[in-house]
Amino acid sequence: MTRREAPERISDLLRAAARTAGDRIGWSAGGRNITLAQMDQRSDRIAGGLLRLGVRHGDRIAVNDHTTPDWLAIYFAAAKIGAVVVALSVRYRQSELAHILGHSGARFVFTVPATADVDLLDLLARIRDRTPEVEGTVTLGPGGALTLDDLEADPPDAAALAAAEGAVDPGHPVLVIYTSGTTGRPKGATLTHRGQLAAATAQARHMRLGPDDVLPVTVPLNHVSGITCCVLTALVARTRAVLLPAFSPREAARLFGTSGLTVWVGVPTMHTLLLRAPEFATADTSAVRLVVTGGANADPALLERLARAFPRATVMNLYGLSEASGAVVMTPWGSDRETTLRAVGRPLPGVQIKIVDGDGAETAAGQAGELLVRAPSLMAGYHAMPDQTARLITADGWLRTGDVAWADGDGHLTLRGRRHEMFVQGGFNVYPIEVENLLMSHPGVALAAGVGVPDPVLGEIGRYYVVLTSGAETTARELRDFCAAAIADYKVPKQIIIRTGLPMTPAGKVQKDRLH
């Protein structure tokens, strides 16, 4: 990636890209290519439509769509006038939509009319009494009283658009992402222009992205893994991004033959499913120079499989958070195999980390504690939740991640799991991630997730939910014996439950609160 002055507003990033490389393809989707100039011009028209609709600086608009150019055009348009996008998921249903729309105070909802099995317009109508601040719905496609085509039909009022854009400050909010809720009710992380671009710029430079790269976007845009780690990171480097509306291992496998991918990015669940897809067996991965896995702990066995599947690529871990706008830690270039398998990496430029014990004192190298992060990419806070924000971000700007980790003498960070996921079995601390990684190294296991459950004798015991690989006939007893041969007896799962699938968040993480 060439070094250029990093913009601090989303509109500045897109306008600079359109001005300096307007004819370059920025996005490919559904067989259609979109240049940087086309996206800039289209988002201008939508921004003008938003202003005519009465949307003003600081107003929130919700977007409910797949990973599409429409989603991005609305996001860029909102950024240009200082409006704030509330990111929804087409997988949300009544309870989730009512909570997020009501809590965020969104004035308008931009939504696809339906998915394969749900009429979303009807769903929104049924929760109208619980979302009184929503003034109207804009349909992305036919079927509504007001459509996105209507909104962008007329050219913008240039003077009004310029005035609105001029009032936008880099520190102003641009996006509210409701955290995935793997362990509780979602909270709205409020991300700023400056924060998102700080995260995207640091990641793009670390990945050495450039205009010749092609990067897939197979993760949802209502999560930082999609909008920051993929879309904005690619835009910073003028890298072409290939959008898949939703992750499909078969469609993802086909991208290697049709899109010229040079980078493969995904969360562990997606990697696992891709490697199992029949179409991937014949995929040509020779052009891929970099594979990035993030969003959840990747087990060493998966990293080994990725290295074999992409023999010409460097495999990197990525650790990030919604509350930090994106990535904060990645595997360094030149990392040796053993360190890559063990550690998620080192802090990106501009990111500080420290690990503290229960009293808040920094731990020594090799000693586990809670990971704290300080960076220019940190969120402004949780929307309308000042008390929760104050508990999470210290007075001197450190974000309490809730993750348990330790660092070696060279600063490589190893995660032990979520602090609240740890359970105490018979007086011993057990971190489920360690056992999950072991289970997933078994050839018969595709996915594993563990939780602590009450026990009258030991206080808590480990219950692990397992999805087997296709055709595997592995039993729970065999898996317990497998674990017993590799880890201390107090870590061996007391209960293993085999299932055909696990509840997942839209971002591809297991929803552990639904496993009990």
What secondary structure does DSSP assign to 91-160, as a single string?
Answer: T--HHHHHHHHHHHT-SEEEE-SB-SS-BHHHHHHHTGGG-TT--EEEESSSSSSSBHHHHTSSPP-HHH
426/360 same-domain check: no
Mean pLDDT of 92-116: 93
Residue 431 confidence (pLDDT) above 80: no
Does any domain span residue 220? no
Distance CA 414, CA 405 (A): 5
141/169 same-domain check: yes
Q: How confident is the model at residue 88 (pLDDT cuts 50, 70, 90)?
A: very high
Does any domain span residue 225? no
Tens of pLDDT along 452-504? 888 877 778 999 999 999 999 999 999 999 998 888 787 899 999 999 999 98
Mean pLDDT of 306-326: 96
Distance CA 266, CA 246 (A): 12
325/381 same-domain check: yes
Q: At 149, which CATH number? A: 3.40.50.12780
Mean pLDDT of 374-386: 97
Count structural domains, the chain: 3
pLDDT of residue 455: 81
Least confident of 159-168, 341-350, 467-476, 501-510: 501-510
Average pLDDT, the chain: 92
433/498 same-domain check: yes
56/146 same-domain check: yes
**Where do we find the tokens 């729309």?**
101
43/97 same-domain check: yes
Tens of pLDDT along 44-61? 999 999 999 999 999 999
Task: Name the more confident of 186 and 303.
Answer: 303
Least confident of 43-52, 135-144, 232-241, 429-438: 429-438
Mean pLDDT of 270-279: 90
135/255 same-domain check: no
Q: How many residues does the chain have?
A: 516
pLDDT of residue 301: 85
Does any domain span residue 199? no
Residue 182 confidence (pLDDT) above 50: no
pLDDT of residue 480: 95
348/451 same-domain check: no
Does any domain span residue 237? no
440/379 same-domain check: no
What range defines the domain where residue 476 resides? 422-514
Tens of pLDDT along 187-231? 999 999 999 999 999 999 999 999 999 999 998 899 999 999 999
Q: Strand (E) positions, 348-487? A: 352-356, 369-374, 381-382, 399-407, 413-418, 423-425, 428-430, 445-455, 459-468
Q: At 470, which CATH number? A: 3.30.300.30
Q: How confident is the model at residue 1 (pLDDT cuts 50, 70, 90)?
A: very low
Does any domain span residue 449? yes
Question: Which of 161, 192, 223 is a domain's end point?
Answer: 192
Does any domain span residue 293? yes
pLDDT of residue 183: 43
pLDDT of residue 471: 92
Residue 180 confidence (pLDDT) above 70: no
412/314 same-domain check: yes
Residue 397 confidence (pLDDT) above 90: yes
Question: Which of 384, 416, 448 is a domain's end point?
Answer: 416
pLDDT of residue 2: 45
Question: Which of 353, 384, 416 is a domain's end point?
Answer: 416
383/438 same-domain check: no
426/412 same-domain check: no
Does any domain span residue 340? yes
Q: Parallel, antiparallel, or unpaired: how do β-strands 60-64 and 136-139 relate?
A: unpaired
Mean pLDDT of 400-420: 87
Does any domain span residue 372? yes
